Amino acid sequence: MSDERSIPLSLLDLAPIAPGQSAGESFAASVRLAQTGEESGYRRVWYAEHHSMATIASSAPAVLIAHIAAHTSTIRLGAGGVMLPNHAPLTIAEQYGTLAELHPGRIDLGLGRAPGSDRTTMRALRRDAASSEAFPQDVRELQGYLADSSLIEGVRAVPGAGTNVPLYILGSSLFGAQLAAAFGLPFAFASHFAPDLLLEAAARYRAGFTPSQQLAEPHLIAAVNVITAETEEEARAQHRAAVRHRVRLMIARGPEPVTYSDEQIDAFLTTPQGAQIADMMRYTAVGAPAEVREYLHEFARHAQADELITAHAALDLDARLRSVRLTAEAMRPVLAA
């Protein structure tokens, strides 16, 4: 469990596509973010699998990881996560085994069971709606391939076998916490957008943890939004813009694009529905470096977290990179390698 002396920090990059921006420009921004994180002492960067979302470019995490890895040298890179029911475990073992052979000691593999998309896109992915029920078995099958102890006779992951790419279970519910505990795997909770069950999930994970070959003690990663700027006023302005942006994305879905003014969004935020969407970002550190440092320490204690994975929410890339640097500098006396 973290304390004042040691709070490892990591980065979550959703590879956002800003209005008027291409996916290629988003990837260039992701390279800069990872390079900044590496220079600043962050432990890892993770990329989440999403599909058919006009504002998120990370639909193929393995390909993106390969690109980022070629432009960095030491920071760990991984999926945060692969939505395993969308894929055959053998395919994922081969993909991440390939990455591990190309970049030894730098690859993580986070696993989730959500579709990372809507129902229509889920069908386009050829996913059976019941496939998530096999998630525990799929995790075990994948684990076997990477350990070179395949559960399926005559099938071997090449590359992949013997790489022992470390697995992480991701979740926003109690299911993931219980599975990670039973399998003896690290657990990452998506509290940056699903805050309600954080404390109960953390407690169940720790209480039920069974040591494994990969992990002797529980390791809980809690996700938190961060907006750090030189002044509190600047950070608050960036936060208001980020909240408005999230609300726009969630209420403007549909076949015909709709544009809402800041005034309309602010009015919507006063409604119960608007407040519910805003509350998804309940765990957000906003302010000048000293304020953010205090918040992150308190959040780590609150969540009983061993590591924080930070989602820097500023819309502007330069502001996002400054937030990454300023946060690291604020935490540097206690930043763990």
DSSP string, 162-201: TT-PPEEEEESSHHHHHHHHHHT--EEE-TTT--TTHHHH
Biggest CA-to-CA distance, the chain = 62
Query: What DSSP string describes 285-330?
Result: EEESHHHHHHHHHHHHHHHT-SEEEEEE--SSHHHHHHHHHHHHHH
110 phi, psi to nearest 5 deg = -85, 140
What is the SS3 assignment for 284? strand
What is the SS3 assignment for 94? helix
CA 96 to chain centre: 17
Give me the residues of the chain with pLDDT under 50, please.
2-3, 254-256, 334-337
In DSSP terms, which residues pair with 78 in a beta bridge? 46, 108
In the block, residue with structure tokens 């998506």: 190
d(C-alpha 242, C-alpha 225), whole Å: 10
Helices H, strands E: what count in the chain?
A: 12, 9
Long-range contacts of 279-283 (CB under 8 A, 24+ apart): 279/195, 280/193, 280/194, 280/195, 280/246, 281/192, 281/193, 281/225, 281/242, 281/243, 281/246, 281/313, 282/195, 283/191, 283/192, 283/195, 283/198, 283/222, 283/223, 283/224, 283/225
* Contacts for 125 with CB less than 8 Å, ≥ 6 apart: 51, 86, 115, 117
Cα distances (angstroms) measured from residue 306 to each of 24, 113, 159, 285, 323 = 34, 23, 31, 18, 22
Q: What's residue 122's pLDDT?
A: 74
170 phi, psi to nearest 5 deg = -105, 150
Q: Single out the residue of 144, 201, 207 nearest to residue 170, CA to CA.
A: 201
* Contacts for 20 with CB less than 8 Å, ≥ 6 apart: none
Q: Single out the residue of 109, 64, 120 nearest to residue 87, CA to CA.
A: 109
Q: What is the pTM of this model?
A: 0.93
Q: What's residue 120's pLDDT?
A: 77
